[in-house]
Amino acid sequence: MKLQPIITSLLETDLYKFSMGMTIYHQFPSYRTTWTFKCRNKDVHFTKEMVEEIRDQIRAYCDLKFTEDELEYLGGIQWLKPDYVEFLRLWHPVFEDFEITDDAPCGLAIEAKSTWLNSSMYEIPTLAIVNEVFFRMNYDYEDLLDSYKERLEAKCRRLRENEICLGNFSEFGLRRRLSAQAQELAIEQIKEAAKNSKSTFVGTSNVYLAKKYNIAPVGTMAHEYIMCAGQGNNKHNAAYSNWYALDAWIREYSVLNGIALTDTIGTDIFLKDFQLTFATMFSGVRHDSGDPYEWGEKMIRHYQSLGIDHKTKTLLFSDSLDFDKAAALYEHFHDNAKVAFGIGTYISNDTKVPALNIVMKTTECNGHPVAKISDTPGKGMCKDEEYVQYLQRTLKWRLERE
């Protein structure tokens, strides 16, 4: 291993991995999943040396275990139950679950196969490792870091001087960060810059940094949860994926931990299931694809149609945001809802070179395909086009006949 270990704590993942993880532990412990890495950049190539470093970094990550101090911290999160925290005392990543080769157009192929309980936890650290290896080994890292620091200072100045108003915002950039060093620098400086600002820095999705800097860990659910909970059982109608997933979530958390993700198989089909009970019990909804203004207005109309006061509900935006986009959305919606933002790459990897567009997605559950059909063409991912066509037909049937 040429670089220092990139992931040094099992807390170094996004909070929603624990909230989904507890639901999986209690309700889907036998489910098995396959996760597949994809680089969407057409002009990026990983060298054999990078692939070997990534393999070594993942092997080092698999040697980690939760410390007693980390378990105590997790036990203090209101909605995490003691039996799940005790399970984490025994849990650790398994290197044999990974297959890492150079057999891909971009030079890097990664698959992870295991129980959903295991493999769900691999996504975020793997992407963080891939990013940092690429930027350290493909560029002059110190030069990139200097450009990152300059841009970070400009962001902090805008916060300090109240040049913009974001309302409540959080940092969501772990999976695509320049480096662990860069992300920590951002948390430290943005926390300080927002102290006397009109914008409120709520916290970070990175549980390790949330603990270190005594700020809130932030996150609820991801697309994988709705894909697997809704499509992992062949006895279920995949067009009702949202209903199966939201029902399981309410059984796990009741009114706690309640931001629902709307776009896994399209927002219009989500609204078919997001009726009075779910819309009342969930504190809000998250946008991650499609036009954010159209989405926000649609959600407000939906709450109105159910007789729910939309001003009591949160609209959380998290799709490719920067400060200007977030400020414009805040200005548009803040009189009609609680508005919040999860800002990722713009905070954690804004340098003079483009950030990578990499993902690691669930492609199979219990031996058959699962799919995401995003509100933005091109954001979905599935190995089996026939299954995608089947799912699209079931969604079309439901939208046209219910």
Query: Rounded to whole angstroms, how far apart are CA atoms 280 and 309?
Result: 10
The span from the first CA to the last CA of the chain, in angstroms, equals 56
Residue 275 confidence (pLDDT) = 98
The model carries a pTM of 0.97
Across the chain, which has 402 residues, the per-10-residue mean pLDDT values are 97 98 98 97 97 98 98 97 98 98 97 98 98 98 98 98 97 97 98 96 98 97 97 94 98 95 97 98 97 98 98 97 98 98 98 96 96 82 89 95 88
- Contact between 157 and 189 under an 8 Å Cβ cutoff? The reply is no
Residue 191 confidence (pLDDT) = 98
Residue 25 confidence (pLDDT) = 98
- Protein fold of 156-348: nicotinate phosphoribosyltransferase (3.20.140)
Residue 394 confidence (pLDDT) = 95
- Contact between 357 and 41 under an 8 Å Cβ cutoff? The reply is yes
Residue 355 confidence (pLDDT) = 96
Residue 299 confidence (pLDDT) = 98
Q: Where do the domains of the chain lie?
A: 156-348
- Contact between 205 and 16 under an 8 Å Cβ cutoff? The reply is yes
Residue 216 confidence (pLDDT) = 98
Q: What is the per-residue pLDDT across 129-180, written as a single tens digit (0 to 9) for each?
A: 999 999 999 999 999 999 999 999 999 999 999 999 999 999 999 999 999 9
- Contact between 116 and 33 under an 8 Å Cβ cutoff? The reply is yes
Residue 21 confidence (pLDDT) = 98
